[in-house]
Amino acid sequence: MFKKILIANRGEIACRVIQTARKMGILTVAVYSEADCDSLHVELADEGVCIGPAASKESYLVIDKIIAACKQTGAEAVHPGYGFLSENQEFSRRLEEEGIIFIGPKHYSVGQMGDKIASKKLANEAKVNTIPGYADAIDTAEQAVEIAKGIGYPVMIKASAGGGGKGLRVAFDDKECFEGFTSCRNEAKTAFGDDRILIEKYVLEPRHIEIQVLGDAHGNTVYLHERECSIQRRHQKVIEEAPSPFLDPATRKAMGEQAVALAKAVNYQSAGTVEFVVGADKSFYFLEMNTRLQVEHPVTEMITGLDLVEQMIRVAAGEKLAFKQEDLKINGWAMECRINAEDPFRGFLPSTGRLVKFQPPVAVEGQVRVDTGVYDGGEISMYYDSMIAKLIVHGATREQAISRMRGALNAFVIRGISSNIPFQSALMQHPRFHSGNFNTGFIAEEYPKGFDASMVPHDDPALLISVAAFVHRRYIDRAAKVSGQLAGHERKVGDDWVVLRDGEQHLVNATPVTGGYLIAYKGEKYEIVSNWRLGQPIMHGTCNGEEFTLQLERRGIRYRLFHWGAQVDLTVLTAHAAALLALMPEKAPPDLSKFLLSPMPGLLREVSVKEGQEVKAGEKLAVIEAMKMENILKADQDCKVRKLVAKSGESLSVDQVIIEFE
């Protein structure tokens, strides 16, 4: 077994590998960019080596720097994590030449299966069902359009070296194909250093189901069942679960055996994932093979009891698999939510900056798990992907797993930046998600015009009203106890209050009871009992004996409550104060219609117009790059450019003016 390994990655997955290595008694080396010098993975590792500037292409993607760090520290092996160099054939080959063990498949397996074009040809040769398409690299956007016409729309345009939803578009006509090819190529070159693109038929109403495989150097290969990954937004996975609510045992077995056959065809030695697109009739087609550890590997670990990172390390060290296919049973149900730094109420635009508060839910062995690479007070950088953490739960049934996930999301505190927790909570409550009757088009179909606060269902508004009254009464009761009050003129606290929500007045009565307050509202009684203390961001308690968990934050005279993904601002006042507040004039928001504002922090890659230019609605105005994704800003209406305020290559902050119109 290795004495020391280097992790050629950052963030959550680097911390995850360090955790297992420590359990196995293996020393770890972290590599980091200048932007990551204070990152959690650097703190957790036994040693750290700085490998360059913030940009990935100058640090995490430079093979020579990784090899030099191995030699400097005496690391015997390298775990690549996911992304960066994890599926780079040249990287694994160079390590082998230097006598350093690559904790992953052999370079020839990476080359054959990590390349989407080569893997599709190999799958055809192995008589694995594949989707119709053009399996050679495409040189121009014009050629891409002609190929797409031949295959028939819709088509999927994707980077050969791609992954994680980057370098991938679906086109329904020639225009979308032309633009999609150009964007995919640019994203692929930036993210992977490889701009080859392929096109294939897009299967309508598909499910994305993947099979986890594991092989050793002694000819043993098994499948660890499936993961359901159909809940996606812009081709990036949002929620993953294991097993799939769609598969029956016969289909599961057929897919698993086909995945194993494919892995054996390339002498696959490590953990890998064979992805399938599955039709409504349970027909399945090979999509691609990821020759690395997947982001969503924890759900497989939860239902099998195996540590996949440990298995990868043991296989790389030459050990045999300690189990056979018949030993691998499915235990219960697991789900994972990817908690990303993005604002679901602003079109999921990236959100970067300081984590003013980061308090994940309490981990419970076998029930709730949090994998993360950040910490309270840390920073979310614009240079890397948007993942803050992975929230994983396990239950005996799918219903129990969903219930645990809802509770864990309620208790996940993130302040300072926006996160997609409200969106995840809404999905967890969606009837169609509960039914298991969904496909990869679920989010686009259910939220065709985007996502807003009104789409976060909250079927118990009385709970929020009652909690606001409870919290305010607790603040007031403490204030009333301040010492030094003039005798006979002490603060008297009444029981009648007005709770304001969205301009509506809700009359409540709050009287003290043991451990809390009894709230009378609309003829009903709500006994709120909690040991919550002033200033705590999480409130655990009971309402009429039923347990609840929610987040709250005091913002001036308002209380902001977070529950089941809903964010509600409530103000609690006396009747007299509420009457006076109603007389206050409202400040009109400024007119920003004559400006193009940056919707996110990022790098201004391109300004597509000139001063004095007439612009039609829908035309491209600018391109902003953030978290390895290109974001195209288009004109909402016909207009004329008056002034270009920002220049190409400039770093932008949120709401910074880019263009001024006449």
Provide the pLDDT for residue 648.
93
User: 648: which DSSP letter?
Assistant: T
Q: Dihedrals φ, ψ of 278, to 5°?
A: -120, 125
Provide the pLDDT for residue 630.
82
Tokens representing 7? 């992790």
**Which of 276, 299, 302 minimizes the C-alpha distance to 287?**
276
Provide the pLDDT for residue 530.
97
Assess whether pLDDT exceeds 80 at residue 204. no
pLDDT digits (tens, 9 = 90+) for 572-624: 999 999 999 888 888 888 888 899 999 888 889 999 999 999 999 999 999 99
Provide the pLDDT for residue 201.
84
Highest mean predicted confidence (pLDDT) among 100-104, 385-389, 628-632? 100-104
Provide the pLDDT for residue 203.
79
Provide the pLDDT for residue 41.
98
pLDDT band at 347 (very low <50, low <70, confident <90, very high): confident
Tokens representing 33? 């960019």
pLDDT band at 164 (very low <50, low <70, confident <90, very high): low
Provide the pLDDT for residue 582.
87
How much is the mean pLDDT over the chain? 93
Tokens representing 264? 């054996």
Superfamily covering domain 208-455: ATP-grasp fold, B domain (3.30.470.20)
The number of residues making up the chain comes to 662
Give me the amino acid identity at 85. L
**% the chain with pLDDT above 90:** 75
Tokens representing 167? 């370098």
The per-residue DSSP string of 244-262 comes to -SS--HHHHHHHHHHHHHH
User: Is 518 in contact with 527 (CB distance < 8 Å)?
Assistant: yes
CATH: 3.40.50.20, 1.20.1440.230, 2.40.10.220, 3.30.365.10. Which one for 4-103? 3.40.50.20
CATH: 3.30.1490.20, 3.40.1010.10, 3.30.460.10, 3.40.50.300. Which one for 132-201? 3.30.1490.20
Q: Which of 14-23, 42-51, 473-482, 523-532 has the lowest mean pLDDT?
A: 473-482
What CA–CA distance (Å, rounded) separates 561 from 261? 52
Q: How far is CA 172 from CA 24, 178, 441, 640, in A?
A: 50, 11, 14, 30
E strand or H helix at 445: helix 442-446
Architecture of domain 595-661: Beta Barrel (2.40)
Q: How many CB atoms lie within 10 A of CB 384?
A: 23
Provide the pLDDT for residue 200.
86
CATH class of 461-481+491-581: alpha beta
- Say which residues have a Cβ less than 8 Å from residue 182's Cβ, sequence separation at least 6: 141
Provide the pLDDT for residue 36.
96
Assess whether pLDDT exceeds 90 at residue 192. no
What CA–CA distance (Å, rounded) separates 116 from 122? 10
pLDDT band at 533 (very low <50, low <70, confident <90, very high): very high
- CA angle at 101 for the pair 97 and 102, rounded to the nearest 5°: 95
User: Is 635 in contact with 616 (CB distance < 8 Å)?
Assistant: yes
What CA–CA distance (Å, rounded) separates 359 from 538? 9
The per-residue DSSP string of 522-545 comes to TTEEEEEE----TT-SEEEEEETT
Strand partners, 518: 511, 527
pLDDT band at 544 (very low <50, low <70, confident <90, very high): very high
288 as an active site residue: the answer is: yes
97: three-class secondary structure by DSSP: helix
**Which of 374, 369, 271, 270 minimizes the C-alpha distance to 10?**
374
Provide the pLDDT for residue 646.
95
Domains 461-481+491-581 and 595-661 share a fold: no
Strand partners, 349: 343
**Which of 394, 462, 457 minimizes the C-alpha distance to 429?**
457
Strand partners, 554: 559
Assess whether pLDDT exceeds 80 at residue 165. no
* Options 12, 288, 336, 630, the catalytic residue: 288
What is the separation, in whole angstroms, between the first and last Cα of the chain?
Answer: 69
**% the chain with pLDDT above 70:** 99
In the chain, where the domains are located: 4-103, 132-201, 208-455, 461-481+491-581, 595-661
Residue 243, preceding peptide bond in cis (omega within 30° of 0): yes
What CA–CA distance (Å, rounded) separates 79 from 45? 13
**Where does residue 527 rank: exposed (0-12), middle (13-18), buried (19+ CB within 10 A)?**
middle
Q: Which of 156-170, 246-260, 280-294 has the lowest mean pLDDT?
A: 156-170
Distance of CA 460 to the CA centre of its chain: 28
Provide the pLDDT for residue 456.
83
Assess whether pLDDT exceeds 70 at residue 84. yes
Give me the amino acid identity at 87. E
Dihedral of alpha carbons 292, 296, 302, 304, sign: negative
- What's the rounded mean pLDDT across residues 467-495? 89
Long-range interactions of 277-282: CB distance < 8 A, separation 24+: 277/131, 277/203, 277/206, 277/207, 277/208, 278/206, 278/207, 278/208, 278/209, 278/246, 278/247, 278/251, 279/203, 279/205, 279/206, 279/207, 280/205, 280/439, 282/246, 282/247, 282/248, 282/251
**Which of 636, 639, 641 minimizes the C-alpha distance to 607?**
641
Name the region of 127 (left: φ>0; alpha: ψ -120 to 50; beta: rest).
Answer: left
Q: How many CB atoms lie within 10 A of CB 121?
A: 15
